[in-house]
Amino acid sequence: MAERRGGSRGCVARLVRRCLFVCALLGAVLVSPAAQALEIALLLSEQKGAAQQFVHALQAALKPGMHRLVQAGAVREGMHTEGVEGADLILAAGRDAAEAALRDSDRPVLAVLVGLRDVERLRAAYPSRPLGAVVLDQPPARHLRLVRAILPQEARVGALLGPDSRHFESELRRAGAAERFEVDVFEISDGKELNGALQFLLDKAGSLLALPDGVVSSPNAARAILLTSYHYRRPIFAFSSAYVTAGALAAVFSTPEHIANDVADLLGTDLVRTGAVAQIASGVRYPERFDVAVNRTVARALGIAVPDDQVLRERVASSGEGTR
């Protein structure tokens, strides 16, 4: 009888030990993401506009307790250096914020609300500093899929490039081949070359693609592009809803809220959970989320039947474009 009681006590003890082991294992699994929680300094170029929209959307998108966000101020109103010094990562909203973070700290930097060209210039100026980004630029393939979705029979697309956008030429040509487009590219270095470039492109192509660029997208250049396209009765495909409001036929673009949700996704990946902050502060990523805008008054004037926005989004969407 005593032997049976002793055997029972042994079984119970082994069962307890197993339960404790399983609980400890579960606890480790459940706690591990929090153990890798980051202190992230939010540095803005200015405390308004797109940067503020980004911050509000990011705070709403991050899971509670995932990371600690520290307000590091705004460059134009004064940066809070104490909020930056202890951070695992500086999240810099805007070019000025990214430059200040690289110049005045030694922390890894993830830049947002910047263009691809901004990132390339900052990397050239601070070659030894870790810098990653989620850029505002759309993948060229996304632009051309929008053109194809609206103009299914079109064969040629003109692309007007300037000093800040000429690096897209090779991607445009690859994407054009994938969408069965002949892409006519014309590069200009200043506004004096604009009229000749427009005549060359609009004589040959059935539509014109304008990408963000300091020369090509200036207010005077945009006005000239729209007026010339009306004369040729050629649709303009652009990169912002404001351009569409001004008279472009359609655009694909990402908002600060889109970028914030992309960043929240990035901060929840295995890269963060394994402590690989350096990988976050190194890759340059196109936005995953986007929207389309269509000027249907322009579409009617040009006699173009445009699918509804949801259909366009579905046709434009594709995978495998996230990192450059």
The 10s digit of each residue's pLDDT in 236-248 is 999 999 999 999 9
Domains 39-136+258-285 and 140-253+290-316 alike in fold: yes
**Which CATH fold would you assign to the domain 39-136+258-285?**
Rossmann fold (3.40.50)
User: Based on C-alpha coordinates, what's the Rg of the chain?
Assistant: 26
- Regarding the domain with residue range 140-253+290-316, which homologous superfamily does it belong to in the CATH classification? Response regulator (3.40.50.2300)
Indicate the pTM of the whole model.
0.84
- The pLDDT of residue 57 is 97
Rounded distance between C-alpha atoms, residue 145 and residue 152, angstroms: 10
Note the pLDDT tens digit of each residue in 248-305.
999 999 999 999 999 999 988 765 555 567 778 888 999 999 999 999 999 999 999 9
Per-residue pLDDT, 282: 87
Q: Which residues of the chain have pLDDT under 70?
A: 1-36, 270-276, 319-324
Domain ranges in the chain? 39-136+258-285, 140-253+290-316
**Whole-angstrom Cα distance, residue 90 to residue 112?**
11
Question: Nearest CA to 257 among 47, 52, 43, 95?
Answer: 52
Q: Looking at residue 97, what is its pLDDT?
A: 97
**What pLDDT shows up at residue 269?**
73
How far is the C-alpha of 163 from the C-alpha of 137, rounded, in Å? 15
